[in-house]
């Protein structure tokens, strides 16, 4: 009796393990990450006088396809999509507003972000889920005449591992959110970024204006 129960238990455990390795998502999935400001983020002195318009341009050939999920056997089980233009625009707007800037459609300062790379991959394992990703954007700040006052190529990368016995569910949303946040934070903390926004809007920057440190 005990032997039969043991065998049954082993069969169930084997099925669960196999299910975990194969993954539970075999259809396309779309993530909708939102921006969450870091605890140390502060307002930029005088930023309320600076109006900023944000324009995100997705130059990627894959457009809204950002990556995939692989099961424990290394097979792709799900393609992952994200509305890069919409989600990154919303995130940048939020960050700038938290920093005190006056974000509006026809702002005097024009922030233009060209997205060159935005990839994230998820790997399902028996006891954990891993994610890795890379982003690359070209950031420009222009004035009302279209003159470029600031331009910088910004790249980020990340790698995470979430433990969990017999991982049966994906963690794509939180991973994409972490990647989005890191990208936005890297943009708004670039040296000379705030100075360019003030100059583009024709506003004299207040001495001592600060923002949070890039995590």
122-181 pLDDT, tens digit each? 888 888 889 999 999 999 999 999 999 999 999 999 998 888 655 555 688 888 999 999
Task: Kindly state the DSSP code that residue 78 receives in the 8-state scheme.
Answer: E
Mean pLDDT of 184-203: 97
pLDDT tens-place string over residues 2-34:
554 444 444 434 434 444 444 444 578 899 999
State the pLDDT at residue 20.
43
E runs forming strands in the chain: 29-31, 51-58, 65-70, 76-82, 102-103, 109-124, 128-142, 148-163
- Quick one: pLDDT band at residue 40, thresholds 50, 70, 90? confident
pTM, two decimal places: 0.82
65 — phi, psi (to 5°)?
-80, 120
State the pLDDT at residue 181.
96
Give exposure, 60-80, as e/b (b: 16+ Cβ within 10 Å). beeebbbbbbbbbeeeebbbb
State the pLDDT at residue 134.
96
Alpha carbons 168 and 149: distance in angstroms, whole number: 49
Alpha carbons 181 and 34: distance in angstroms, whole number: 8
Q: What are the structural domains of the chain?
A: 2-201 (3.40.50)
pLDDT tens-place string over residues 81-122:
999 999 999 999 999 999 999 999 999 999 999 999 999 998
Task: Kindly state the DSSP code that residue 190 receives in the 8-state scheme.
Answer: S
State the pLDDT at residue 126.
81
- Quick one: pLDDT band at residue 205, thresholds 50, 70, 90? confident
């Amino acid at each position: 009796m005990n032997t039969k129960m043991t065998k049954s238990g082993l069969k169930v455990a084997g099925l669960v393990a196999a299910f975990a390795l194969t993954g539970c998502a075999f259809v396309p999935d779309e993530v909708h990450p939102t921006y969450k400001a870091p605890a140390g983020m502060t307002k930029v002195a005088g930023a309320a006088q600076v109006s900023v318009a944000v324009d995100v341009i997705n130059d990627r050939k894959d457009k809204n396809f950002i990556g995939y999920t692989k099961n424990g056997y290394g097979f792709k089980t799900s393609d992952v999509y994200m509305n890069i233009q919409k989600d990154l625009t919303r995130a940048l707007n939020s960050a700038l507003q938290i920093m005190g800037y006056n974000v509006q459609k026809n702002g005097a300062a024009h922030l233009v972000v060209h997205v060159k790379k935005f990839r994230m991959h998820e790997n399902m394992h028996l006891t954990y889920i891993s994610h890795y990703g890379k982003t690359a954007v070209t950031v420009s700040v222009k004035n009302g005449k279209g003159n470029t006052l600031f331009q910088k190529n910004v790249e980020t990368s990340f790698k995470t591992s979430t433990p969990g016995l017999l991982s049966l569910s994906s963690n794509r949303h939180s991973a994409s959110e972490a990647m989005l946040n890191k990208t936005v934070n890297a943009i708004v903390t670039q040296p000379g970024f705030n100075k360019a926004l003030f100059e583009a809007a024709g506003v004299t920057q207040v001495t001592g204006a600060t923002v949070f440190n890039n995590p």
